[in-house]
Amino acid sequence: MKIKFGIMFKLFLWYLVLVSIFYGTILILFFHIQQIMTISENVANRNYRISSASKKMIDSLLWMAESESKYDLLKKEDYKEYFVAAQREFEANLTKILLLEPSGGGDNEPWKQLYRDYMAQLPDAGKGSVEEDPAKTLWIPETVINDWIKIISNARGENEQQIEEQMLVLNERGRMAVRFGFVGLGFSILVGLLGSVFLTHPMNRPLRELRRGIRPISGGGLTEPIRIQSRDEFGELAGAFNEMATLLKQEEQMRSDFISMLSHEIRTPLTSIRESVNMIAEELMGPINERQRRFLEIAGGEIERISDLLSHLMQVSRLEAGALKIDLRPLDPAVFTANCIYRVGPAAEAKGITISAQLPSQLPLVMGDPDNLQQVLLNLLGNAIKFSPPNTEVVVAVTSASRTDGLELEFSVADAGPGIPEAEQPLVFHKYYRSAGARDQVDGVGLGLSISKYIVEAHGGMIWVKSRLGEGSTFGFTLPALARVEEPRDDSAMGEHEGPLAAPSFQGNPGKS
């Protein structure tokens, strides 16, 4: 039976090797650091103290000799006190050094020899100390003091030599610690790189296969089952992906059937109802009174609303299935914008809303599908008119900008509506999403912006929104541009480009661009 080595086992093995190298390096560094600390502590707590105390002892002996000489000349009792004070300091420092010396040393050690000589110079040696009877300590011959200074100087020199030797050992330990640290670091990096290759190489093949299967889905199409090339978690993921691909095909078939059902089972009777209502309204079935006409107008409006809703649902289904057909043609953005503003003019006038257009004198052309792009801009304009209060202004702007792969045009529509909360702005382009404020104010099912997003992205652009509560909203989209227009446009068909677009004149059907 073939043993299955999963990703977790491989990661654990890699982790175990890295941890072993890491802690091995740490242990070696800890050993050297401990040695360094021991040497440093010995130098700081013993050698430096001995050096300091020995220097004070030499100063004390010199002061003792000076005090004795001055007393012999001047016979002042103060010099006795100076001598005793220096002797006490000498004795205290000698005692401190003896306590710092390690136990088990021989009797010929310089500090112990100095202590014996010092005690021998005291009257009634061994019966007291300076602290008990200072008068018994006077005086110590100058020759003895000079001998003691030589002993202290030699011992102090040996101590300085020990400090130098300890510092050399300390330096060597530090070098070894750094060396082992770099070796451990380099070895861990090498093992990490080899482990990465060991882990990623068997993962790349199933991942490439998985990407190959996912790419058609991101492009809006259907995927085919992929090959299962491993027995680990990636193999299980490939199997799950194949199951998902099969289910997607089934769902796509069900969706196509649903769209077909809507087309034949709903639109046909809806058309019959619309025609019947129109015939009655046109009094082909006999005269009607004003009350009946009012109710027929309401019914006709509701039929149109249901028809638009059905058209939107079918369009979303086609877009999700990748059935959007784009007929690219060169478009003049100024004429295109003016036609859309003309189309929504009656709705804006009904609410007393002014639509202003801000267009530069020269704009590059864009390649796009006139009908689909018109649907996008009309949807943005319609939403701006719906949510703007009466007697306000809606501003339509078109600007050009450079990007890494060429020029682009940016179309924007700014209104004076209530604004959109920041948390809801990323959701407004989702299918069927409507904020609580929108549900309470206007009708709709939340498909217009979703359809607009599909159309803009199909043209290689991007749709966006900027809004703050109480300050209105600005919706816009970008489109890749062609070459810049070198000659000025004929402004007679556009009116003013900067400021309100007032009373433009069009040739032909203004609804087409």
Query: What is the mean pLDDT of the segment spanning 26-49?
Result: 82
Highest averaged pLDDT of the listed ranges 76-80, 213-217, 258-262: 76-80
pTM for this predicted structure: 0.46
For the chain, how are helix, strand and coil distributed in percent, rounded to 5? Answer: 65, 10, 25
The CB-based long-range contact list for 179-185 (8 Å cut-off, 24+ gap) reads: 180/25, 180/28, 180/29, 180/32, 181/25, 181/29, 183/25, 184/21, 184/22, 184/24, 184/25, 184/28, 184/29, 185/25
Q: Residue 341: what pLDDT?
A: 92
Query: What is the mean pLDDT of the segment spanning 356-377?
Result: 87
- The DSSP H or E segment spanning 396 is strand 393-403
What the block records as the tokens of 430 is 């989702």
| 464 preceded by a cis bond (ω within 30 of 0) | no
Q: Residue 395: what pLDDT?
A: 93
Q: Is the pLDDT of residue 116 over 60?
A: yes
C-beta atoms surrounding 451 within 10 Å: 21
Query: What is the mean pLDDT of the segment spanning 420-439?
Result: 72
Q: Is the pLDDT of residue 449 over 90?
A: no
- SS3 (DSSP) at 395: strand
Integer Cα distance of 217 and 212 in angstroms = 10
Q: Is the pLDDT of residue 143 over 50?
A: yes
Q: What is the mean pLDDT of the chain?
A: 76
